[in-house]
Structure 1
Amino acid sequence: MRYTSRELKAKKNKKKIFVTAIDLIRKKGYDNVSINEICSLSGFTKGAFYHYFNSKEDLLIQLLRDVDDYYTVEVLPKLDGMSSTEKLTYFMQQFAYCGYGVGVDIINNLFKSQTKVLNDFMNDYDRPFFKILLEIIDEGQKKGEFTDKLSCKELAQYCMSFTWGVLHNWTLENGEYDIEEKMKSYLKVFILSILY
């Protein structure tokens, strides 16, 4: 698909606002950053901000979309040739990698947010992230690697409860330990719980 110069400029502008906002949030904390400050530092008006984002919370949704893109572009191709158990382990380890990249404060705000829009997006099983997870689990159940005592979707929910739980604990500890190493360690026990 080819973009017009106007579309390319719009994508570039949105990205600049987004990157500026995320940098500010990482430095100052989500609650300490205003839309005015984002606009001032990015060189755009509030009108431009609201053209691309409905609210500051939309920045969090964009981060989740970026995670979807990461899983589609980076993670999915690396799953070829792995057993279902290896795929699931790698998939879940990458979640910790993404969490570390996003940062404690932003992850904390994903947990604190009580809006329907963000919660619905986080739990949307039509997102690429969840589609990949469901495919891995479905394959593992069909091959007899994973338990069939839970449906594919229930097992996906179990996996996500586990990974979000590990991330949540990490945020409660203010990121004081290596989340990727902790996830790797916990996964050794978790994976045993879902094997057939």
Structure 2
Amino acid sequence: MNIRQKKALQTKNKILTAALSLFNEKGFSNVTVDEIIEKTNSSKGAFYNHFKSKHDIFFEKFKEIDHFYLDELLPQLEKDAPANVKLKTFFKIEMEFIESEFGWDVTRSIYEAELNVERESFFLIPDRPLYQILKNLCEEGQEAGLFRTDITSEQMVTILARMIRGILYDWSISKGQYSLSSEQDLLFDVAIRGLTK
């Protein structure tokens, strides 16, 4: 990476960080591109060189989350543990990460932005690493005779993904009044037991 590319990456990260901070402070819909530019002491050209819109900032953050799943979270799962234990561990680490790195208001802002019908929701992109990880764990559980086989691994992923979105939505509209990392334990335990034979 040359000096120019490094500088461009620094500018992009500065804009990303400032925008997320403003979204957290004021709410997504109350923040303008001009405010983000002012906070980062950059230009509109610099902003639009890296992001097509405010929504793209969330898209970039989602990509970071998916890298977190692959690079940080997956290695924490015990290779020899059964699939149900791996799933419980996965959800625990995922929810702790979202609670500590995003908070309820940024999460609420993400949901607000994702409800825009004029663009494809990042939540529904089928080849996200999140969904592939869940599918692999569900298939692993089926192959080991641990999980039921009257529903497909794809259906299991749909159920689990909807539960993830449900708890995050509820937590964000509840303004973080409960611990996400604690609440997820009961919710996903019930779900995983429902997948077992």
Q: Same fold (TM over 0.5)?
A: yes
Unaligned runs of at least 5 residues, structure 2: none
- How many residue pairs match? The answer is 193
2:131 equivalent to 1:133: no
Q: What RMSD, in angstroms, separates the aligned Cα atoms of the two structures?
A: 1.5
Distance between the aligned counterparts of 1:140 and 1:10, measured in 2? Answer: 44
Residues 67, 98 of structure 1: 8 Å contact kept: no
Distance between the aligned counterparts of 1:111 and 1:23, measured in 2? Answer: 16
Choose 178-187 or 92-101, whichever is displaced more.
92-101
Report the counterpart of residue 35 of structure 1 in structure 2.
Answer: 33
Report the counterpart of residue 174 of structure 1 in structure 2.
Answer: 175
Unaligned runs of at least 5 residues, structure 1: none
Structure 1 residue 10: Cα displacement: 1.4
Report the counterpart of residue 194 of structure 1 in structure 2.
Answer: 195
Residues 108, 169 of structure 2: 8 Å contact kept: yes
Residues 68, 127 of structure 1: 8 Å contact kept: yes
Residues 20, 38 of structure 1: 8 Å contact kept: yes
Report the counterpart of residue 114 of structure 1 in structure 2.
Answer: 116
How high is the TM-score relative to the length of structure 2?
Answer: 0.91
2:161 equivalent to 1:160: yes
Secondary structure of 1:108's counterpart equals helix
Residues 27, 109 of structure 2: 8 Å contact kept: no
Residues 30, 109 of structure 1: 8 Å contact kept: yes
| Counterpart amino acid of residue 81 in structure 1 | D
Secondary structure of 2:11's counterpart equals helix
Structure 1 residue 40: Cα displacement: 0.7
Distance between the aligned counterparts of 1:134 and 1:46, measured in 2? Answer: 41
Change in CA separation of 1:95 and 1:117 when aligned onto 2, cut-off 3 Å: farther
